[in-house]
């Protein structure tokens, strides 16, 4: 293994020794961006190094700048295509990559390796994959010398012709902050030139203004770029085009993660999955809304808690790859045979909420099940008596029946999971009042989690442990103990979501005396969401460098919100039990959008932290508006069968 590595590294070092024009090489990111255009690789050729080890060589080229890609791997990938692996590897090694250009040549060589142990790639660590990027395209010309004037020409396209008062203000700001040049452009498609500006490096921003100069809003979907060619700086601005959906999320992984794991699967982030992801975030925001309505002072990590339902679906559903086929046929998440399998008695649908059909703790102590929520009864369609039935007494239990088909519905299924997870929180509070295994630590834990300055932001890990392992499990008892006494468990708290710990190490450092899925699941949820959110710092130790984009078109999000709300019911002022209408849901969404000054924003990107916060704020405000306009609470419960 090391012999192969020395062979490849020797190429880079020999080339590096001949450098005389290294400054003309594109930077590493340019080479990586170009490599990302790769669509196919040739079939591999088998080779053997002097040590007798076999490896495979894939070769390909991009269409943009004649970039040649050589991809060396010790084994042919099985779970992920070689092209996907090349892109992932290219992003992973950028920080440590040498670059070179031969005398009188424009060829630049970039070399990187992926470690087998998941550590940051280096050329001395064990590796199982190497990528070589040979960039032989045109080298960008250098910028004008300092002080030379640069003419700025701007082209703006895509402005809404109906908004005749709109102008776009383009601002160039030098990196040292000393030079700022702004220009405005009326609606329509035009070009104009501003006065000359000093040469240098500038950041580009754009915002929409009214004709009076007041900011109407700052759209998130204005895209800008600029380039320098000779003595002219050209700026291209496009308004009204959302960033593309792109990337992937790898799931069904174990810890520590390695790209060679055979259990891992991945789903592409493309428009096929957008509505399903949206529905899970509508439900996830409802999950957070329920908790805040019940315990307003309780703090939690919004990104992880309100995103956990999407991660739960990835981990628990049998085959998420078939969703595009299911989507083409119905509003279900699965097709056969998964559809029927996941509705068998005791299964609980795609989210595996297996105990959906029972009270989660004693009725005498205030115990409830999800059928007790007024919002849920109309869709679930079984009785409270079926929930409470003891089979030996001759009655019919819901547990013995197939699950309601609505659990497979992409709008209701995640909401059912949200209510189940919320009921887990109520259960932990209920059983630990007197007799539960965490009766001495639950109260202090909740008190700590209600202090804004306390570093307790893993509430969703506690609830996910409860869902996955049960409220009497050792892992949840340990988590609650850490939450109750964080200063006595500093090391455990610091490692509670450490992705590099196997079961044995995790038990030693964090505790919990668990193994298998129980010890993995709470961290798996965070791992999948870190991918979706591009949390590269959190994933660096795993060798993953995600570059995902999941824009939520707000018109589609409005539709998904209405469809989701229409699966829930309430008692109106006349005492009639009805589904929430799409009209009421749309009005609630539109009012929330206006109140947050998002009327002119067409999309928000889930993979961008600031825009994700806006998505959560928009959905939470819309949920509050539904409650206010219809005079009910999503947390309301009953002991009556209102739907009959």
pLDDT tens track for 411-468:
999 999 999 999 999 999 999 998 899 999 999 999 999 987 776 889 999 999 999 9
C-alpha to C-alpha distances, 158 to 161, 244, 509, nearest whole angstrom: 8, 16, 55
Yes or no: say if 27 and 141 are a contact pair by the CB < 8 Å rule.
no
- Could you tell me which residues come within 8 angstroms of residue 485 by beta carbon, excluding any fewer than 6 positions away? 441, 444
578-606 pLDDT per residue, tens: 999 999 999 999 999 999 988 877 889 99
Q: How many CA atoms are closer than 13 Å to the CA of 511, on its beta-carbon side?
A: 15
Sequence-ordered alpha helix ranges (H) in 432-509: 442-449, 459-469, 474-484, 490-494, 503-509
Is residue 224 classed as helix, strand or coil in its secondary structure? Answer: strand
Residue 529 in this model has a pLDDT that exceeds 60: yes
582-618 burial, b for 16+ CB within 10 Å, e for fewer?
Answer: eebbbbbbebbbeeeebeebbbbbbbbeebbebbbbb
DSSP result, 83-100: HHHHHHHHHHTGGG--EE
Mean pLDDT on 272-298: 96
Mean pLDDT on 216-239: 42
User: From the CA atom positions of the chain, what is the Rg in Å?
Assistant: 28
Determine the pLDDT at residue 87: 67
Is residue 551 classed as helix, strand or coil in its secondary structure? Answer: strand
Yes or no: say if 301 and 533 are a contact pair by the CB < 8 Å rule.
no
H or E segment and range at residue 68: strand 68-73
Helices 302-316 and 459-469: crossing angle in degrees, nearest 10, is 20
Rounded distance between C-alpha atoms, residue 397 and residue 386, angstroms = 5
Identify the DSSP state of 253: -
Of the candidates 636, 153, 103, the one whose C-alpha atom is nearest the C-alpha of residue 373 is 636
Confidence band, pLDDT 50/70/90 cuts, at residue 139: very low
**Highest mean pLDDT of the ranges 39-43, 113-117, 175-179, 367-371:** 367-371
Residue 551 in this model has a pLDDT that exceeds 80: yes
Of the candidates 371, 466, 352, 355, the one whose C-alpha atom is nearest the C-alpha of residue 413 is 352
Contacts 24+ apart (CB under 8 A), 180-185: 181/152, 183/152, 183/154, 184/209, 185/154, 185/156
Mean pLDDT on 144-148: 35
Which one is predicted more confidently, 89 or 20?
89
Which one is predicted more confidently, 528 or 187?
528
Of the candidates 287, 512, 244, 241, the one whose C-alpha atom is nearest the C-alpha of residue 416 is 287
Which one is predicted more confidently, 165 or 345?
345
Yes or no: say if 620 and 591 are a contact pair by the CB < 8 Å rule.
no
Rounded distance between C-alpha atoms, residue 34 and residue 30, angstroms = 6
Which one is predicted more confidently, 627 or 511?
627
Determine the pLDDT at residue 53: 61
Determine the pLDDT at residue 264: 85
Confidence band, pLDDT 50/70/90 cuts, at residue 287: very high
Determine the pLDDT at residue 394: 76
Determine the pLDDT at residue 12: 24
Rounded distance between C-alpha atoms, residue 150 and residue 353, angstroms = 63
Which one is predicted more confidently, 528 or 536?
528
103-133 burial, b for 16+ CB within 10 Å, e for fewer?
Answer: eeebbbbbbbbbbbebbebebeeebbbbbbb
Yes or no: say if 620 and 285 are a contact pair by the CB < 8 Å rule.
yes
Residue 161 in this model has a pLDDT that exceeds 90: no
pTM (2 d.p.): 0.67
Rounded distance between C-alpha atoms, residue 481 and residue 495, angstroms = 14
Determine the pLDDT at residue 68: 78
3-17, 243-257, 280-294, 560-574: which has the minimum mean pLDDT? Answer: 3-17
What sign does the CA torsion over 499, 503, 507, 509 have? negative
How much of the chain, in percent, has pLDDT values that exceed 70? Answer: 66
Confidence band, pLDDT 50/70/90 cuts, at residue 108: low
H or E segment and range at residue 277: helix 271-294
Confidence band, pLDDT 50/70/90 cuts, at residue 238: very low
84-88, 156-160, 346-350: which has the minimum mean pLDDT? Answer: 156-160
Determine the pLDDT at residue 208: 46
Determine the pLDDT at residue 643: 82
User: Rounded to the nearest 10 degrees, how much is the dihedral formed by the CA atoms of 199, 205, 209, 215?
Assistant: -120
388-421 pLDDT per residue, tens: 997 667 788 999 999 999 999 999 999 999 999 9
- Give every strand in the sheet of 68-73, ordered side by side: 45-48, 54-61, 68-73, 127-135, 108-115, 99-101
């Amino acid at each position: 293994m090391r012999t192969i590595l020395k062979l490849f590294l020797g190429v880079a070092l020999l080339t590096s020794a001949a450098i005389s024009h290294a400054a003309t090489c594109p930077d590493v990111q340019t080479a990586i961006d170009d490599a990302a255009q790769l669509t196919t690789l040739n079939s591999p050729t088998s080779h053997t190094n002097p040590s007798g080890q076999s490896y495979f060589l894939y070769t390909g080229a991009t269409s943009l700048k004649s970039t040649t890609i050589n991809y060396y791997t010790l084994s042919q990938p099985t779970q992920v295509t070689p092209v996907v692996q090349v892109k992932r590897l290219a992003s992973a090694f950028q920080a440590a990559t040498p670059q070179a250009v031969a005398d009188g040549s424009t060829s630049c060589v970039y070399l990187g390796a992926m470690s087998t142990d998941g550590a940051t790639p280096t050329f001395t660590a064990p590796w199982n994959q190497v990528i070589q990027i040979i960039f032989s395209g045109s080298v960008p010309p250098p910028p004008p010398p300092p002080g030379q004037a640069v003419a700025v020409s701007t082209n703006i396209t895509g402005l809404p012709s109906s908004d005749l008062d709109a102008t776009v203000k383009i601002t160039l700001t030098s990196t040292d902050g000393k030079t700022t040049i702004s220009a405005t452009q009326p609606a329509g498609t035009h070009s104009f030139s501003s006065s000359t500006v000093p040469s240098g490096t500038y950041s580009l921003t754009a915002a929409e203004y009214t004709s009076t100069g007041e900011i109407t809003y700052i759209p998130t979907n204005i895209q800008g770029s600029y380039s320098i060619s000779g003595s002219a700086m050209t700026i291209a601005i496009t308004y009204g085009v959302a960033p593309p959906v792109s990337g992937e999320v790898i799931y069904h992984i174990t810890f520590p993660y390695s790209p060679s794991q055979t259990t891992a699967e991945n789903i592409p982030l493309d428009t096929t999955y957008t509505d399903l992801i949206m529905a899970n975030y509508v439900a996830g925001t409802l999950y957070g809304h329920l908790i805040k309505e019940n315990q307003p002072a309780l703090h939690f990590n919004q990104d992880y808690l309100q995103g956990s339902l999407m991660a739960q679906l990835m981990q628990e559903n049998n085959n998420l790859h078939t969703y595009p086929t299911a989507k083409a046929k119905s509003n279900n998440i699965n097709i056969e045979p998964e559809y029927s399998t996941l509705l068998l008695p005791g299964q609980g649908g795609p989210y595996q909420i297996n105990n959906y059909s029972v009270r989660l703790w004693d009725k005498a102590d205030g115990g409830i099940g999800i059928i007790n929520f007024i919002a849920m009864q109309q869709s679930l369609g079984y009785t409270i008596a079926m929930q409470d039935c003891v089979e030996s007494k001759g009655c019919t239990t819901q547990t013995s029946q197939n699950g309601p088909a609505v659990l497979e519905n992409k709008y209701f299924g995640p909401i059912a999971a949200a209510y189940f997870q919320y009921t887990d929180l109520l259960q932990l509070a209920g059983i630990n009042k007197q007799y539960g295994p965490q009766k001495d630590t639950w109260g202090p834990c909740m008190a700590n989690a209600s202090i804004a300055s306390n570093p307790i932001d893993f509430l969703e890990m506690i609830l996910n442990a409860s869902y996955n392992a049960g409220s009497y499990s050792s892992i949840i008892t340990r988590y609650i103990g850490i939450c109750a006494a964080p200063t006595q468990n500093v090391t455990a708290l610091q490692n509670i979501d450490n992705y590099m710990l196997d079961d044995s190490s995790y038990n030693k450092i964090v505790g919990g005396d668990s193994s298998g899925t129980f010890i993995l699941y709470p961290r798996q949820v965070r791992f999948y969401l870190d991918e979706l959110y591009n949390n590269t710092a959190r994933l660096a130790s795993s060798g993953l460098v995600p570059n995902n984009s999941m824009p939520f078109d707000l018109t589609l999000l409005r539709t998904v919100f209405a469809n989701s709300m229409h699966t829930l019911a309430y008692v109106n002022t006349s005492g009639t039990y009805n589904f929430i209408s799409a009209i009421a849901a749309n009005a609630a969404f539109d009012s929330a959008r206006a109140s947050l000054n998002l009327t002119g924003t067409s999309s928000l990107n889930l993979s961008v932290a600031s825009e994700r916060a806006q998505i959560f704020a928009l959905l939470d405000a819309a949920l509050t508006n539904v409650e206010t306009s219809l005079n009910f609470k999503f947390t309301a419960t009953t002991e009556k069968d209102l739907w009959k």
